[in-house]
C-alpha cells in the first residue's frame, strides 16, 4: 500500500495560509515535470510520438506552459481552451481539437490556429466545410461499439455520444479523399481513469488493424493514430499506477509486428499528467454529531465535484496527525444545500478538530476545473509549488464582484416587478 503525501507539511501549509486563505488547490511543478518526462520516455521508440495535454483536466495557462516546455501540445474541446493554448504560444499541429456538437465559431478558431481537427460525426464534414473549409489534415474519432468495452466514467461505447461507427469511417475517409484531402489521422477514446495497462495496448491494436484496412480499401495513408487518454491514477492508497513502460513496450511490439515504420503515435492524457500532483487544502469549520459524525470543511463541491457527482474516492489526510490512529469514522462535508455535498462517507480518519487543516489528495485534474457557483459559492485560488521551493498564486480566488459581474444592477432602478 502506497502512502499519500502532500509536498508541504502542516507547518508549511499553515504558513502558506497566512497569505492564501483556505481553501485552495496546490500543484507540484517538480512532480508534474518528472511525470511528463516519464510518459515521453515510455514512447521514445516512436520518433513522432506526441502527447496533447487534455486542457479540460486543469485549464490553467501556467501549468500548460510548464507542459509546453516539456514538449506537450494541447487537446482542446472548446473555444476558451483554444484561446488558452494560443495564449502560451501553441499553434498549428501542436493543438488537436476534439469536440462534439460543435458551433461554427469554434471550428473557425481551430482552423485559424492550424489545429488538427478531429471530427466526431459524418455530418460534421459538410458542416466544417461550410463554416471554415476543410483543412489539409483531418482526423476522425472512432467509436468501436461492441468491439471494445468502456468503463464506468465514459460508459459503454454503444451508448456513448462520441464518434463514428466503423462503416461511417470508411464512408467519411472516402469523402475526404475525393475532396482532395491527403493527410489523415485516426483517433479513439473509450475509457476514462483506467488502471489496466493492457487496455491501452488493446486499443492501439484495434487502431493498427483498422488503419491497415482503411488504407488498403481507400488507397490512403495515415500519418498517426491517437489512442486518446484515459490513463487512470491510483486514487486509493492500495491501488497501483499504470505501468507506462509496459504500455509503451506492448504497443511497440504490436507496431513492429504490423510492419509500421512511419506511423506516429499520439495521446491526449490529462488526469494522469497533473492529477496525482494537486491537492485541495481546506480547513475544518464545524464538527457535528447526530445519527453519525460529520466534519464540515470550508470547501465544498464547488471546489471538488467528483465525490459528490459520482461517488469518486479521494484520499483525505489531516496534516500533523498522519501517525495517529485512524479510528474516527465520519462523513466529510461541504456547505452546499445538497446532501451529496460530501468528500467522503463513513471514512476513518485521524480525528480532526475544529481549525485543523485537511488535505484532499489527487485533486490536480478535474478538480478546480469542474468548479461552479451554485448557492453563490466562489471558486478558490490555485497555487503552484515551484521547483525552487517557492509558492506562487496562478489563479486568484473569485470575489463577490466576479459573481455579480454579469448582472445589470443599474437596470433594477427602472425595472418594474
User: Residue 216's pLDDT is what?
Assistant: 97
Does the pLDDT of residue 155 top 70, yes or no? no
CATH class of 276-404: mainly beta
pLDDT band at 161 (very low <50, low <70, confident <90, very high): confident
Please confirm, yes or no, whether 131 is among the known catalytic residues: no
Does the pLDDT of residue 156 top 80, yes or no? no
Evaluate the CA torsion angle 200, 88, 141, 256 in order and state its sign. Answer: negative
Residue 31's CB is within 10 A of a number of other CB atoms, namely 17
Averaged over 141-151, what is the pLDDT?
73
pLDDT digits (tens, 9 = 90+) for 177-196: 999 999 999 999 988 899 99
User: Residue 401's pLDDT is what?
Assistant: 97
How many Å apart are CA 309 and CA 338, to the nearest integer?
11
E strands, 16-93, are 24-28, 50-54, 73-76
How much of the chain exceeds pLDDT 70, in percent? 96
Q: Please choose, from the candidates 78, 71, 23, 125, the residue with its C-alpha nearest in 3D space to the C-alpha of residue 273.
A: 71
58: number of CA atoms within 13 Å, CB side? Answer: 35
Residue 68's CB is within 10 A of a number of other CB atoms, namely 18
How many Å apart are CA 161 and CA 87, to the nearest integer?
30
User: Residue 153's pLDDT is what?
Assistant: 46
Does the pLDDT of residue 101 top 70, yes or no? yes
Q: Say if residues 63 and 384 touch (Cβ distance below 8 Å).
A: yes
- Say how far residue 341 (Cα) sits from the centre of its chain: 22
Does the pLDDT of residue 297 top 80, yes or no? yes
pLDDT band at 1 (very low <50, low <70, confident <90, very high): very low
Q: Say if residues 297 and 333 touch (Cβ distance below 8 Å).
A: yes
Per-position DSSP letters for 238-305, written without gaps between them: T-----HHHHHHHHHHHHHHTT-SS-EEEE---HHHHGGGEEEEEEEEEEEESSSEEEEES--TTT--
Domain ranges within the chain, ordered by starting residue: 29-273, 276-404
How many Å apart are CA 148 and CA 206, to the nearest integer?
9
Grid cell in block for residue 332: 466529510
pTM over the 0.85 mark: yes
Q: Which of 6, 131, 330, 337 is catalytic?
A: 337
CA angle (361 as vertex; 358, 365 as ends), nearest 5: 130
Instruction: Determine whether domain 29-273 maps to CATH 3.20.20.370.
Output: no
pLDDT band at 145 (very low <50, low <70, confident <90, very high): confident
Amino acid at each position: 500500500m502506497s502512502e499519500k503525501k502532500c509536498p508541504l507539511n502542516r507547518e508549511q501549509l499553515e504558513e502558506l495560509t497566512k497569505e492564501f486563505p483556505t481553501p485552495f488547490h496546490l500543484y507540484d511543478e517538480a512532480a508534474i515535470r518528472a511525470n511528463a518526462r516519464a510518459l515521453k520516455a515510455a514512447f521514445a521508440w516512436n520518433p513522432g510520438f506526441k502527447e496533447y495535454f487534455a486542457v479540460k483536466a486543469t485549464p490553467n495557462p501556467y501549468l500548460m506552459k510548464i507542459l509546453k516546455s516539456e514538449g506537450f501540445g494541447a487537446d482542446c474541446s472548446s473555444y476558451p481552451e483554444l484561446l488558452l493554448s494560443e495564449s502560451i504560444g501553441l499553434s498549428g499541429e501542436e493543438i488537436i481539437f476534439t469536440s462534439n456538437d460543435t458551433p461554427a465559431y469554434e471550428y473557425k478558431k481551430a482552423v485559424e490556429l492550424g489545429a488538427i481537427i478531429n471530427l466526431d460525426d459524418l455530418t460534421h464534414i459538410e458542416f466544417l466545410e461550410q463554416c471554415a473549409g476543410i483543412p489539409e489534415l483531418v482526423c476522425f474519432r472512432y467509436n468501436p461499439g461492441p468491439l471494445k468495452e468502456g468503463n464506468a466514467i465514459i460508459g459503454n461505447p454503444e451508448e456513448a455520444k462520441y464518434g463514428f461507427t466503423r462503416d461511417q469511417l470508411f464512408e467519411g475517409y472516402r469523402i475526404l479523399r475525393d475532396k482532395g484531402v491527403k493527410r489523415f489521422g485516426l483517433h479513439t477514446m473509450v475509457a476514462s481513469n483506467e488502471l489496466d495497462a493492457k487496455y491501452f495496448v488493446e486499443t492501439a491494436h484495434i487502431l493498427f488493424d483498422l488503419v491497415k484496412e482503411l488504407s488498403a480499401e481507400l488507397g490512403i495513408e495515415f500519418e498517426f493514430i491517437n489512442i486518446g487518454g484515459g490513463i487512470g491514477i491510483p486514487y486509493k492508497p492500495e491501488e497501483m499506477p499504470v505501468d507506462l513502460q509496459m504500455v509503451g513496450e506492448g504497443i511497440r511490439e504490436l507496431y513492429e509486428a504490423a510492419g509500421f515504420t512511419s506511423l506516429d503515435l499520439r495521446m491526449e492524457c490529462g488526469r494522469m499528467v497533473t492529477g496525482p500532483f494537486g491537492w485541495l487544502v481546506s480547513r475544518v469549520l464545524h464538527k457535528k454529531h447526530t445519527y453519525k459524525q460529520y466534519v464540515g470543511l470550508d470547501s465544498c463541491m464547488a471546489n471538488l465535484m467528483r465525490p459528490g457527482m459520482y461517488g469518486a474516492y479521494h484520499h483525505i489526510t489531516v496534516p500533523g496527525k498522519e501517525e495517529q490512529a485512524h479510528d474516527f469514522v465520519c462523513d466529510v462535508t461541504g456547505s452546499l444545500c445538497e446532501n451529496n455535498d460530501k468528500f467522503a462517507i463513513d471514512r476513518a480518519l485521524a480525528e480532526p478538530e475544529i481549525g485543523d487543516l485537511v488535505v484532499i489528495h489527487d485533486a490536480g485534474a478535474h478538480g478546480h476545473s469542474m468548479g461552479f457557483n451554485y448557492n453563490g459559492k466562489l471558486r478558490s485560488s490555485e497555487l503552484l509549488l515551484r521547483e525552487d521551493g517557492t509558492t506562487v498564486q496562478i489563479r486568484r480566488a473569485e470575489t463577490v464582484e466576479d459573481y455579480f459581474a454579469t448582472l445589470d444592477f443599474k437596470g433594477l432602478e427602472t425595472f418594474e416587478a
